[in-house]
Structure 1
Amino acid sequence: MNKKNIIFILILLFYITTYNYCFSKEIPIFILSSYRFKDPLSYPEYKGVIQCIQNNENKIKIYSYFLNSRILPTKEIKKKVYKAVQLIKQINPKLIITLDDLAFEVILQNFLTTLNNKNPFIVFSGVNKPIEEYNKKFNFILHKTPIKNVTGVCEHIFIKQQLELIEFIVKKPFYVALLYSTNYMGQIGKKQILRELNKTKYKNKIIIFPVTTFQELKKAVFEINNSPKIKAYFPLAISVRNPPQKNNLTLPQISSFLIQNIKKIDLGVNIGFAKVGFFGGVCADPYAMGYQAGQLAIKILQHYPIKNLKIENAKGYKIIINQTRINTLKLKIPNIFFGLIDELVQ
C-alpha cells in the first residue's frame, strides 16, 4: 500500500470517527420548574414539553429539577435554587427550558448571555408576568424579537371568556371573587387576571380576597360563600401558610376545603383545576402551551437562529367542565352549552 492510500484511509477514518461522535453524542437539555413533580396544575405543561422534544431527530438527554416552592419555606427554596444553578453549570446544557415565572427569573439572573454565546439557549413557558417587565430588567428582546439567548411562550388564561361563560350561565348581574395567595406566584396570577379584564366590560366585576394563612383563607371562604352578589370565584389560593404545623398547604390539600365550603361556581385558570374537582370552564391548556414551547426548543436544536424565533403567546385552551361539581352545585346548564364542551370530567 503506497503512502497516498495510507493518508487517504487515515483521513477517512478521522471523518468517520468524528461523524459518529457528533451524531451519537446526546445533547443535554435542562428543564426547571418551581412546582413539585407531577403537580396537577403544572405537570401537563411539563409533559407537553417532554413529548414534543422527544420527537426531534437529535439524541437528547433530559435533566429535570423541581423547586417545590409552593410547599417549602423561603430559606429552603433558596437552597434548592442554588443547587439547581450549580447543577446546570455542571451539566452545561445546550438548552434550558423553564416552566413558570420563578424558574424563568432564576435562569435569567444566572444564564442570560448575548447571541454570540452558543450555550445555553433559554426557552420559557408558562410566564404570567408581562414579558415587558422582565425585559426592562434584563433587556433580551426588541419588539418580541430576541436580542439575546432567550425565546419562549407567554401564558394567556382567557379570563374574559370565563366571565362570558358565567354571564351565560347565571343570566343576572354578578360578581366574581378572586381568592389568591399573597406569595410570589399568587400576586402574579392576580395581576394577570386583572390585566386581562382591564379593557373589557367585566373589569369592575372582580372582588379580591388576598390570603396568606389558612386562618385568613377560612375567613375569606365564609365571606365568599355568604355574599349573594358573588356568583363564582377563582381559587388561586394555591399555597397558604399553616402556622400550627409550620408548613404550607397547597392546592391538593386546599381544594377539598374550598369545594366543601363554597357552594358557588369555581373557575379554573387551567384545565388542572377541573381535574381536581373544581367546576372549570374556559381554561388554558398547559399541555398545549408546553408543546408549543417544545416546538421552539426543537427549532433551536435544528440550528434555527434564535433571533428568528419571536416570543409567542399561548394559543391552546379548552372548555372543560367537572360533571360532579355541576351536580353538587345543582346548576341548570342549557343543553346547547354541552355541545361546546371539549372535555367533561367526573
Structure 2
Amino acid sequence: MKIAFAADPLASFKIYKDSTFAMMREAVRRGHEIYAFEHKDIAFDGGAVLAQVSRITLTGDPVDWYRADAAIVQALNKFDAVVERTDPPFDMEYIYATYLLELAEKQGAKIFNKPEAIRSHNEKLAITQFAQFIAPTLVTSDEMRIRAFHKEHSDIILKPLDGMGGAGIFRVKEDGLNLGSIIEQMTHHGNRTVMVQRYIPDIVKGDKRVLLIGGKVVPYGLARIPQNGEVRGNLAAGGVGVAQPVSAREREIGETLGPILAQRGLLLVGLDVIGDYMTEINVTSPTCFQEIMEQSGIDVAAIFIDALEQAAGVP
C-alpha cells in the first residue's frame, strides 16, 4: 500500500509517545510505503485535489528518525489510503481542509477518518448524541441557565467547545467563587457557547481514554490521572498515564458507539470516560497508542493498520 499521512510537521513529533509515528512504523514493518503532508500542502488545481507530499523513510534513530524525499505534487486519489492525523485546534483552516479532503473522496481517494464525519463530530458536543452515557450536561451561552445549573448541581465543570489538552477548563464548587467572571470570560458576555457538566468525583481515578478501531473496543485504555491538585487528567496538563483493562461500563459504552461511529466513517475514535460517564468523543487525531502498548503489551498500532488495510481494501 501507499499510505499518505496528513499530519503536523514531522520535526515536531515526540516519537517515544507519538501515535502517528507508531502507525508509520507498523506500516513500514509490513512493507507499505509511507508519505507525509500538512494541511497547508493541499490544493484544488486543474480540477483535482492535490497535495505536495514527501515519501518518508524511517531511520531507526531515536533522534534523527526520518528522511524525507524531495516533495512532489500528487493527486490524493493516487494513494491507497490517506490517514488524517492533524492535531487540533479545529479552526476554520482545519474545516477548509476537510472540505478539500471530502472533494478528494469524490474523486476516488480513501480517507480515514472520513472528512465529513470529522467535521460533524465536535469532540465535546458529539457526546450529546448519546445522552444515556453522559453526566448532567448543559450547552448554552446564557448566564442565567449556567447559574441555574450550578444551583442545581453545586459542583460543576465549564469547558470551551473548541478546547484541546484540557485548556480553558474551570471547576466551580458550591461557593460559586468567581462564577460570574468565569461565565463572562468563557461566553464572551453571552456571545460564545460553552459546555457545563456536573463535576464527576471519579476524576481522581483518571480520565480514561478508550480506543475504538474499526468499530471495536481496544481491550486496554489509558487512565490519565490528575496530579498536584489538578482537576484535569490530560497528559498535556500534567496527568500521568496508566494503562488499565477496559471496565464493564467502558466496554458497554464502546460497544454501543463503535458500530455507529464506524458506519459514519470513523475508523479510529478515542472516547474519554470518567467513572461511569463519557465526556468526549475524539475523532481528529486520537492518541495513547504507545503508552498502552508499553504498559499492557497490546499492539494498538498493529490493530489500527489491520483495520486500515481492511477498510482500504488493499492487502
Bucket of the pairwise TM-score, normalised by the shorter protein: 0.3 to 0.5
Q: Taking structure 2 as the reference length, what is the TM-score of the superposition? A: 0.38
- The structure whose residues are more often helix, as a share, is 1
State the TM-score, normalizing by the size of structure 1: 0.35
Question: Which structure dedicates a bigger proportion of its chain to strand?
Answer: 2
Larger Rg: 1
